[in-house]
């Protein structure tokens, strides 16, 4: 649930986990004198309405089906994982059998997961039945509706519960204590289903580990939960001919919300159940674009007080406090986060509230860059480090040894730009001049370093760090978004970087490489392709990444994708909120993005002819941009591309540039019926809304 204190997990085979690191409930069916488990059936997956964070797993076997559906309910401080088991007889004859729900000392999170919350086994010392309630370690851990026909439990030295179930029976004991912490047990439901009939069993798993206040009937609660999610996920209405993309966008937003714990934005709920400022800044940017400023405000107010006395912004905060590990992207990300909230809300109250934090953060950046502006860094091998932020391990690829990561520098430059902008909006003229000068100086040093590193290693692409001259296009995307530096970077190097990225992407997509492994952080390259004008390639990336969702119908990605999704390798969290924030931000670029060089809002830069030929075309309502809210519709009509724009926004200084979405250039264009002259044939700039633009080849 949105911002819940804990989260359950549902595994793709139908097991559910009753909170972080706790036991799981796994279904089994006794049918035709044999036990059916996940490996004996065909399995399908779904989300309610195709996008709500209400997942289900359905088993199929000889006309019999078992659907496991779950969602979060109750108060955020004490959430409850509600699960419905629906056994349905789709055959032509009556069916008689048994549903077993086994409580087992295993997490759904598997043992291959080793970060944050190590996966694998769980502690189950005591099991006991009291009517419709199963107690685990003395707490009311599971409430069943209706009460089971029977319950049995066994200690570890009696064997796992599955040994009993494989014979269609339960242990005799209804209560057990196991000093090994590996007890197991099962609820039994005896079922008789006529042809076409179904039976529902509901269990409630209080994630704090004990009973909470009574909940509404399951069907009523499910409907109310779906309505609440629909409001949160449809503040921006996007309709393209690609329903999978539209649904995945909404699911990604839901996953950002369910991954957070109270005000703390987190990239995950197990491996990454901590709040990094870089993840939080990117997740916040996505939330702002999708119409959720309140969650961003709460995160800023929660995170900012953890700033160190030195002015350093901590890289990560969790219930233990701020992590002292120095990661030199953090200050820039905090400044960007605060400015991004102000841009989208046009509310300076948070900037005023945390202005002392901004000053300290900028002072820290200035002090850090001064360490690389000494005579020792003016000549020789060290010259390419001149003026940069010092080495750090903010980029995971440099965790073994700190590097002068350009990732740090791109975020630092972004932060200095934003500090100058915020100072100007507050009327702090002196600080605005100072921060703008720091920004200009830092950009000069950064560009000089990039050129020197390219020369040192004989490369034509933008390197990942100054020490190695390595290739890391996924990291380099930060320079373009959120960095906004596309027009300042050497264009040939930018194009060489993303030409190579595309070649490597295409080779992997087409089967090169043993396991096809990659990290889907690279979905952020979709937006870079759009800004470069490589729309067809952007859509190739989208299609490939959508195919790599795991499981596909749940609209989510792990941190590591591989060709065999069942291979026992580390996955990170599923869903992974930072990955999905990157995907969201990139997909929004298809519809609109701000071109910083001339402060222009670009609309329609990622649309395709195939989309526009659809009778309904493309329609977006309530799209959030820094200047307000935009509505537009685009379609091919009588051989012409027609854009209709409206909305509530203050036009940026450069106006709105409506991009020609087809190959080549347009031959003629009209704006509200009047001919447009003096264009490049690539875009039409408008200065007022509403507007109707027609372009023809």
The structure tokens 């405000």 sit at: 297
**Residue 248, pLDDT score:** 98
Could you give the C-alpha distances from 383 to 472, 520, 638, in angstroms and in order? 22, 34, 60
**Residue 680, pLDDT score:** 86
**Residue 62, pLDDT score:** 94
pTM of the predicted structure, to 2 decimals: 0.96
Nearest to 45 by CA among 31, 60, 56, 59: 56
Q: What is the mean pLDDT of residues 160-171?
A: 96
d(CA 540, CA 500): 15
Q: What is the mean pLDDT of residues 445-461?
A: 98
239-270: burial string, b at 16+ Cβ within 10 Å, e else: ebbbebbbbbbbbbbbbbbbbbbebbbbbbbb
d(CA 512, CA 520): 17
Nearest to 576 by CA among 514, 522, 531: 522
For residue 66, give the H/E element and its range: strand 64-73
Q: How far is CA 186 from the centre of its chain?
A: 35
Rg over CA atoms, the chain: 28
Nearest-5° Cα angle at 284, 632 to 548: 75
Interval 523-546: pLDDT, tens:
999 999 999 999 999 999 999 999
Are residues 620 and 591 in contact, defined by beta-carbon separation less than 8 angstroms? yes
**Residue 626, pLDDT score:** 93
Interval 430-444: pLDDT, tens:
999 999 999 999 999
Question: Higher confidence at residue 250 or residue 399?
Answer: 250
The backbone torsions φ and ψ at residue 140, rounded to the nearest 5 degrees and listed phi first, read -75, 90
- On average, the pLDDT of the chain sits at 96
Nearest-5° Cα angle at 91, 88 to 95: 65
**Residue 212, pLDDT score:** 67
Nearest to 648 by CA among 629, 633, 625, 632: 629
Q: Is the pLDDT of residue 499 over 70?
A: yes
For 620-640, the DSSP string reads EEEEEETTEEEEEEEEEETTE
Q: Which two tokens stand for residue 123?
A: 């502690």
Torsion of CA 327, 328, 330, 335, to 10 degrees: 170
**Residue 396, pLDDT score:** 78
Q: Is the pLDDT of residue 7 over 80?
A: yes
Q: Is the pLDDT of residue 522 over 80?
A: yes
Q: Which two tokens stand for residue 173?
A: 């004991």
3-state SS class at 29: strand
Catalogue all structural domains in the chain, each as residue range(s) with its CATH number. 9-229 (2.70.98), 234-595 (1.50.10.10), 600-696 (2.60.40)
Nearest-5° Cα angle at 205, 581 to 160: 105
């Amino acid at each position: 649930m949105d911002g819940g204190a804990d989260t359950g997990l549902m595994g793709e085979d139908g097991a559910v986990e009753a909170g972080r690191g706790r036991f799981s409930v796994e279904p089994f069916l006794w049918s035709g004198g044999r036990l059916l488990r996940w490996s004996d059936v065909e399995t399908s997956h779904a989300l309610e309405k195709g996008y709500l964070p209400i997942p289900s797993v359905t088993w199929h076997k000889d006309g019999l089906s078992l659907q496991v559906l779950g969602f979060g309910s109750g108060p955020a401080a004490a959430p409850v994982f509600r699960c419905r088991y629906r056994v349905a007889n789709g055959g032509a004859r009556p069916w008689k059998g048994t549903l077993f729900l086994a409580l087992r000392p295993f997490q759904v999170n598997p043992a291959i997961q080793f970060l944050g919350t190590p996966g694998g086994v769980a502690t189950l010392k005591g099991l006991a039945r009291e009517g419709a309630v199963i107690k685990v370690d003395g707490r009311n851990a599971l409430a069943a509706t209706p009460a089971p026909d029977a319950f049995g439990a066994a200690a570890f030295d009696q064997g796992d519960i599955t040994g009993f179930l494989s014979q269609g029976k339960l242990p005799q004991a209804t209560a057990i204590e196991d000093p090994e912490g590996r007890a197991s047990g099962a609820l039994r439901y005896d079922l008789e289903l006529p042809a076409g009939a179904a039976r529902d069993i509901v269990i409630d798993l209080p994630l704090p580990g004990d009973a909470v206040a009574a909940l509404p009937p399951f069907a009523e609660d499910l409907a109310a939960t779906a309505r609440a999610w629909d409001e949160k996920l449809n503040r921006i209405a996007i309709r393209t001919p690609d329903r999978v993309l539209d649904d995945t966008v909404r699911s990604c937003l839901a996953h950002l919300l369910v991954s957070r714990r109270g005000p703390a934005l987190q990239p995950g709920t197990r491996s990454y159940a901590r709040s990094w400022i870089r993840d939080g800044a990117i997740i916040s940017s996505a939330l702002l674009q999708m119409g959720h400023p309140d969650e961003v405000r709460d995160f800023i107010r929660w995170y900012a007080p953890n700033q160190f006395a030195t002015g350093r912004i901590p890289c990560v905060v969790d219930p233990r406090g701020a992590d002292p590990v120095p990661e030199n992207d953090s200050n820039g990300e905090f400044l960007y986060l605060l400015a991004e909230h102000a841009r989208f809300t046009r509310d300076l109250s948070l900037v005023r509230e945390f202005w002392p934090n901004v000053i300290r953060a900028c002072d820290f950046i200035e002090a850090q860059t001064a360490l690389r502006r000494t005579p020792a860094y003016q000549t020789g091998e060290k010259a390419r480090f001149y003026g940069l932020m010092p080495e750090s391990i903010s980029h995971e690829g440099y965790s073994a040894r700190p590097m002068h990561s350009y990732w740090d520098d791109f975020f630092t430059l972004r932060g200095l730009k934003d500090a100058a902008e915020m100072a100007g909006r507050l009327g702090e003229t002196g600080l605005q001049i100072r921060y703008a000068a720091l920004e200009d100086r830092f950009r000069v040093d950064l560009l000089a370093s990039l050129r020197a590193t390219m020369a040192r290693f004989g490369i034509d692409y933008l390197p990942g760090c100054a020490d190695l001259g390595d290739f890391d296009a996924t990291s380099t995307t930060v320079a373009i978004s959120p960095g906004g530096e596309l027009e300042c970077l050497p264009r040939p190097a930018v194009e060489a970087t993303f030409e190579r990225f595309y070649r490597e992407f295409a080779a992997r997509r087409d089967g090169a490489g043993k396991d096809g492994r990659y990290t889907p952080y690279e979905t952020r390259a979709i937006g870079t392709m759009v800004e470069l004008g490589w729309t067809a390639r952007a859509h190739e990336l989208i299609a490939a990444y959508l195919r790599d969702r795991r499981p596909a119908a749940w609209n989510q990605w792990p941190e590591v994708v591989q060709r065999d999704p069942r291979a026992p390798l580390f996955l990170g969290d599923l869903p992974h909120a930072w990955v999905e924030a990157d995907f969201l931000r990139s997909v929004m670029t298809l519809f609109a993005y701000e071109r910083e060089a001339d402060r222009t809002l670009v609309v329609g830069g990622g649309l395709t002819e195939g989309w526009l030929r659809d009778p309904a075309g493309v329609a977006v309502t309530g799209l959030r941009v820094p200047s307000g809210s935009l509505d537009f519709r685009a379609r091919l009509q009588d051989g012409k591309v027609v854009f209709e724009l409206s909305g509530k926004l203050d036009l940026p200084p450069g106006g709105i540039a409506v991009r020609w979405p087809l190959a080549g250039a347009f031959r003629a264009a009209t704006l509200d019926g009047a001919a447009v002259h003096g264009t490049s044939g690539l875009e039409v700039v408008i200065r007022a809304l509403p507007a109707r633009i027609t372009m023809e080849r």
